[in-house]
Amino acid sequence: MKKKLLIVIGDLDVGGTARHLTRVLPHLNSDVFHITVYTLTHKGTLAPILERAGISVVESWSDPVLEKLVPKYFRRGIGLPLVIIHLVFLMRRLQPDIVHFFLPMAYLIGGICAVVLRMPCRIMSRRSLSIYQKHHPFLARMERWLHNYMHGILGNSQAVLNELRKEFVSEEKLCLIYNGIDLSSFKKVSSRSDLLPAHHINDNTLILVIVANLIYYKGHENLLRALGKIRKKLPEKWLLLCVGRDDGIGDELMLHARENRIFKNVRWLGPRSDATQILMTANIGILCSDQEGFSNSILEGMAAGLPMVVTDVGGNTEAVIDGKTGFVAAPQDPEKLSEIILKLAEDPALCKQMGQAGRERSQSKFSIEACARAYEQFYIRLVKH
């Protein structure tokens, strides 16, 4: 009999965790697992990827029975309690063998529901450093309380696991599973003109790319300052492509681009379904976050054959080997960041060498197949216990 797996997450809009799930869940053995994904708010733009793979995605209050019982205007009025009722209703109906929570809000809401209902196997995934807890001390205490009632707790980097140890999570509960990427999507290369026809980019343009939603801790401001420092030393034709959703700081970043006199060299592309192809047409990949768990965009840049410029936070140095597959800089250090970018911009042979090493590393260590097998083994081991 198949094991019923229920995944609980806020939504499946474009973001690192949602993209991770849309990759790994379809690779789980469908003869062993029957998968349902529950979203606390709405399904999100990536939900169709899972649905096309035969995975059911249920959004909060999409259940027709409960929609008839509770009028729409009333559901809006009391929000969170009704989400909890709906999730409890779903858990009781599905009776999953495994419930797996991704991201803090899903953990707090879903974890409490699963504990009360005594779900047989409860798992939490931490996919970022715990800096967010400093602003929410009560919720941090709630998370630590919930740890005691989890059967397994996953981290996607050693840095994340080290923080969980400080929260007194026992070693027998902890497991490390790195993110995985589907290498098959990095085989076909589109031309620059086909991907970005409105930007008039030719083969002689030096392209830098950062794939990260526009959030303050992703370090876009420091990157703009770094490029401003070396703008006169870079080739005549160069562009920075910023791929990612604007989470509220886009206008501010555009102002910083003007202040650093590089506004004409920056393209704000928003969220792109063809981010993989954009990476494959670039010359240098960058992720200069102030905090990070373990970044999909770093692995994608490596798989695309780019030398990666990253900051020394979270699991970044577990992915990038400094001096071999790219360079590592201290966070919030525009001066050092500018030196590294200029070094790569002036040495195409070094870019190619590091890019090739990064591609080989991504293939040997971070494939989606290896990631999916690790999840399967983890689930099966816990269910047997």
pLDDT tens sequence across 304-337: 999 999 999 999 999 999 999 999 999 999 999 9
Q: What is the DSSP string of 240-271?
A: EEEES-B-S-HHHHHHHHHHTT-GGGEEEEES
pLDDT at 135: 80
Q: Angle formed by the axes of helices 137-147 and 104-116, to 10°?
A: 50
Query: What mean pLDDT do residues 73-81 have?
Result: 60
Q: Angle formed by the axes of helices 16-24 and 296-303, to 10°?
A: 60
Burial class of residue 306, CB neighbours in 10 A (0-12, 13-18, 19+): buried
The CATH number corresponding to 3-180+367-384 among 3.50.50.60, 3.40.50.2000, 3.40.50.1980, 3.40.50.1370 equals 3.40.50.2000
pLDDT at 129: 84
The Cβ of residue 364 has, within 10 Å, a number of other Cβ atoms equal to: 9
More confident call, 14 vs 379: 379
pLDDT band at 78 (very low <50, low <70, confident <90, very high): low
pLDDT at 65: 55
pLDDT at 198: 74
Please give the radius of gyration of the chain, using alpha carbons only, rounded to the nearest integer. Answer: 22
Backbone angles phi, psi at 78, to 5 degrees: -115, 0
241-289 pLDDT, tens digit per residue, is 999 999 999 999 999 999 999 999 999 999 988 889 999 999 999 999 9
Q: How far apart are CA 194 and CA 329, in angstroms?
A: 33
Instruction: Give percent above pLDDT 90 in the chain.
Output: 78
Instruction: Say yes or no to pLDDT of 75 above 60.
Output: no
Strand ranges across the sheet with 33-39: 56-59, 33-39, 3-9, 98-102, 122-126, 152-155, 174-176
Instruction: Say yes or no to pLDDT of 83 above 80.
Output: yes
Residue 264 structure tokens: 């004409």
pLDDT at 71: 59
pLDDT at 195: 80
Query: What mean pLDDT do residues 89-112 have?
Result: 96
What class does CATH assign to 183-365? alpha beta
Instruction: Say yes or no to pLDDT of 342 above 60.
Output: yes
Q: How far apart are CA 343 and CA 355, in angstroms?
A: 14
Q: How far apart are CA 338 and CA 359, in angstroms?
A: 24
Give the alpha-carbon dihedral of 88, 92, 93, 95, to 10 degrees. 120
Q: Is 326 strand, coil or helix?
A: strand
Which residue spans of the chain are classified as CATH 3.40.50.2000? 3-180+367-384, 183-365
pLDDT band at 201 (very low <50, low <70, confident <90, very high): confident
Backbone angles phi, psi at 332, to 5 degrees: 55, 45
In angstroms, how far is CA 154 from the centroid of its own chain? 15
Q: What is the mean pLDDT of the chain?
A: 92
pLDDT band at 40 (very low <50, low <70, confident <90, very high): very high
More confident call, 121 vs 13: 121
pLDDT at 63: 56
Instruction: Say yes or no to pLDDT of 74 above 80.
Output: no
CB distance 174 to 161 below 8 Å:
yes
Question: Closest by alpha carbon to 286, among 245, 331, 249, 318?
Answer: 331
Report the range out of 59-73, 196-210, 212-226 with the highest average pLDDT: 212-226
pLDDT at 300: 94
pLDDT band at 112 (very low <50, low <70, confident <90, very high): very high
Q: How far apart are CA 89 and CA 76, in angstroms?
A: 18
Instruction: Say yes or no to pLDDT of 76 above 70.
Output: no
User: In Å, how far are 157, 314, 324, 333 from 330, measured between CA atoms?
Assistant: 18, 12, 17, 6
pLDDT at 67: 59
pLDDT at 187: 78
Query: What mean pLDDT do residues 143-165 have?
Result: 96
Query: What mean pLDDT do residues 30-48 have?
Result: 95
Query: What mean pLDDT do residues 213-225 have?
Result: 96
